[in-house]
Structure 1
Amino acid sequence: MKVITLDYPISAPITNQKVILTLGFFDGVHIGHQKLIKDAKLIAEEKKLPLMVMTFDKHPKEIYKNDHKFVYLETAHEKEQKMEKLGVDYLVIIKFTKEFSQLKPQDFVDQVIMKLKADTVVVGFDYTYGPKDIANVENLPKFARGRFQIVVEPKQSIDKIKVGSTYIRKAIQGGNVELAAALLGQPYETSGIIVHGFRRGHKIGFPTANLDISDAKVLPAEGVYATRAKINGKWHDAMTSVGYNETFKTNHGLTIETNIFNFDEEAYGEPLTLAWYKFIRSNKKFSGIEELSRQLDQDKRNIKQYFYDLEK
């Protein structure tokens, strides 16, 4: 897969042939996105043309709503990896600027879609390219003027819940990581670097890896979770706490602390990826170390049983 980052206006075509073009931001590349891209790939194979996905370097809300605290479901690198697995030939990333955000719908078609040499455009039912009352899929044929074919993917739902990035973010922020996994097609993942903590877990028999998160990704709600931790290329069952150290009467900000089962190596400075499987319980303030230790022991037993049942 070739990854190409473009500034607007697009100065020259990327390819010397027509392409099947899929449009969207694709945050999370969830099961709805996957269905759309797989269907576009089938069209590309049938027409013997490359599949191109066009997206942006930042979410449009960062510009339209001046929301610079917007949290994502994945990093640019994670998105690229998923696109490549889906068989995308060209991933085009346009820098989403104030100027670009002000493009009129006809100009978007003429100066972006046509510049990318679209034979067929494949979009979701709710795709927009400007004000949604005008720049929607219903009006796209009018702007296309017969220059390319249009395929619209219908709405997808699971148990009457719309498959969409917004719903997935809300699920994660509410601690419902199981719903998020169902909509994503895999457990939600968070990556970072293991940093030094206060080593309180070591003192009570539950050593933890403290994760430093630098990416602007959504974090699960406070609480204890069944997770799997990938370190040194290997996955381990684990339990992870998201929250503040209330029992120890310290507040050094939100922490992500993971007790990795069957792992006792020093790993400071190492990258760690967490896959979030199930919310176990809410955080609570304990009377002391003894009560905390008993609760952590029970949490560990519950999580081990959960993963045992999951593998059955």
Structure 2
Amino acid sequence: MEVIRIHHPLDPRQIPDDPVVLAMGFFDGVHRGHQAVIKRAKALATAKHVKLAVLTYDHRPALVYRPLTGDDRKYLSTPERKLQQLDRLGVDRVFLVSYTGDFSAQTPQEFVDHYLVAFHTVVAVAGFDHTYGKKDVATMTRLPAYAQGRFEVETVAKEASDREKISSTRIRQAMKDGAIDDANNLLGYLYRSTGVVVHGEARGRTIGFPTANVLTPENEWIPGIGVYTARLKVGAIWYPGMISVGRNDTFGDNRPITVEMNLLDYQGNLYGENVEVEWHHRLRGQVKFASAEDLITQLQKDEVATRDYFSQVAAD
């Protein structure tokens, strides 16, 4: 997959001469709704014997318009992971635009003239609620007028689950709630995050459940407090285990949230490893136990549930 990184104003020399069907969107998470847009664009590109291209952005456009705080700074897919997902969907070319104040200052007509036409678009495809400027004028309904017959416009209807629109907002709420099973269903794949293994309090090894403490980037979503089944990628190998997002309240109050993973049957030194976590299934919420012994009893039950889960996954 070819990736063309663009900073406004566009240098036409960056753009290949061949025509494309162009799917447009920020695509945070590249969830099932986004996949429907890209699959429709792929079908059109195949029918017209041209390449499938995607126009997306390197960060959330809202950053240009207002201060981003807290959860607004987090992404379901970093630019690197987004590109990986687009590649898996068969995209031939990605126009990765840096969303700046100057870029946002364009009128809808200027955006169409300077970008969509310059990309040699034969069909522009996006979701029904996609905008490319001010929401009241930069709509998919108005895009054919701005196109002025230079390319076709295809609008993809909403993708729904349980009668609700599949959206990045809905997935982010599921992540916040710790509902990773719901988030994965809406994404259409198992959510992944990254991190590096660092030293913790080493308390896990004293109770028979040594953990890898994963320091996670501030700009990536992590499921809410709870205990989950997951896999940890070290190098090229995936290791199954159970992972806790929580404060270890059993050992004191007002502790910081940590991400700690106990790997099944693993022996080795993971400190300093850059890792990837694949989040599978929620086992339970966090509990403040009366004693370390009660915690150990629960962890033993969690281990049994985790082994059963991955045995079933292997069987399927």
Give aligned pairs, total.
312
Q: Is the 8 A contact 2:174 2:182 kept in 1?
A: yes
Equivalent residue letter for 2:146: F
2:32 counterpart of 1:31: yes
1:126 aligns with 2:129: yes
Decide whether the 8 Å contact of 1:62 with 1:68 is kept in 2: no
Corresponding position of 2:2: 2
Q: Aligned partner of 1:42: which letter?
A: A
Give % identity.
39
- For residues 222-252 of structure 1, the C-alpha deviation after alignment (integer angstroms, 9 at most, x for no partner) is 1111212222322222111101132222655
Aligned match of 1:140 = 143
Quickly say closer, same or farther: Cα 1:166–1:218, change in 2 above 3 A: same
Shift of 1:100: 1.5
Say whether residues 1:176 and 2:170 are aligned partners: no
Using the alignment, how far apart are the partners of 2:183 and 2:248 within structure 1?
A: 26
In terms of mean alpha carbon deviation, does 194-203 or 287-296 score higher?
Answer: 287-296
For residue 305 of structure 2, what is the aligned residue in structure 1? 302
In structure 2, how many angstroms separate the alpha carbons of the residues matched to 1:171 and 1:83? 23
The root-mean-square deviation of aligned C-alpha atoms, in Å, is 1.6
Task: Give the C-alpha shift of residue 15 in structure 1.
Answer: 1.3
What is the deviation of 1:87?
1.7
* Structure-2 residue corresponding to 1:12: 12
- TM-score (ref. length: structure 2): 0.94
1:188-203 aligned at under 5 Å gives the runs 188-203=191-206
Which 10-residue stretch deviates more, 271-280 or 191-200? 271-280
Give, in whole Å, the separation in 2 of the partners of 1:4 and 1:15: 10
Residue in 2 aligned with 1:283? Answer: 286
Name the structure 2 match of 1:97: 100
Q: Deviation of residue 192 (structure 1)?
A: 1.0
Q: Are the equivalent residues in 1 in contact too, given 2:180–2:281 (CA < 8 A)?
A: yes
Q: Which residue is equivalent to 2:158?
A: 155
Q: Indicate if the aligned counterparts of 1:239 and 1:259 stay in contact, CA closer than 8 A.
A: yes
Matched, 1:293 2:296: yes
Report which stretch shifted further, 278-287 or 288-297.
Answer: 278-287
SS in 2 for 1:3: strand
**SS state of the match for residue 91, structure 1?**
strand
The 8 Å contact of residues 36 and 159 in structure 2, kept in 1 or not, is answered as no
CA contact (8 A) 1:64 1:101 kept: no
For structure 2, which runs of at least 5 residues remain unmatched after alignment? none
TM-score relative to the length of structure 1: 0.95
What's the offset of the Cα at 1:34?
Answer: 1.8
**Counterpart for residue 45 of structure 1:** 46
* Contact 1:75 1:215 (C-alpha < 8 Å) held by counterparts: no
Q: How does 1:57-96 map to 2 (within 5 A)?
A: 57-67=58-68, 69=70, 70-96=73-99
Tell me whether 64-73 or 82-91 shows the greater mean CA deviation.
64-73
Residue ranges of structure 1 left out of the alignment (5+ in a row) = none
Alignment of 1:237-252 (within 5 A): 237-249=240-252
Contact map agreement 1:245 1:251 (CA 8 A) in 2: no
* Pairwise CA distance, 1:212: 1.1
1:227 aligned residue: 230
Moved more, 278-287 or 248-257: 248-257
For the residues of structure 2 that align with 1:9 and 1:258, how far apart are their CA atoms?
A: 46
What is the Cα deviation at residue 208 of structure 1?
A: 0.3
Task: Tell me the SS of whatever aligns to 1:294.
Answer: helix
Aligned partner (choices 115, 120, 124) of residue 118 of structure 2: 115
- Residue 71 of structure 1: how far off its partner (Å): 0.8
Q: Is the 8 A contact 2:128 2:140 kept in 1?
A: yes
Name the aligned partner's letter for residue 118 of structure 2.
K
SS in 1 for 2:250: coil
Deviations 1:43-85 (A, max 9, x none): 2122221211111111112222321542100121111111112
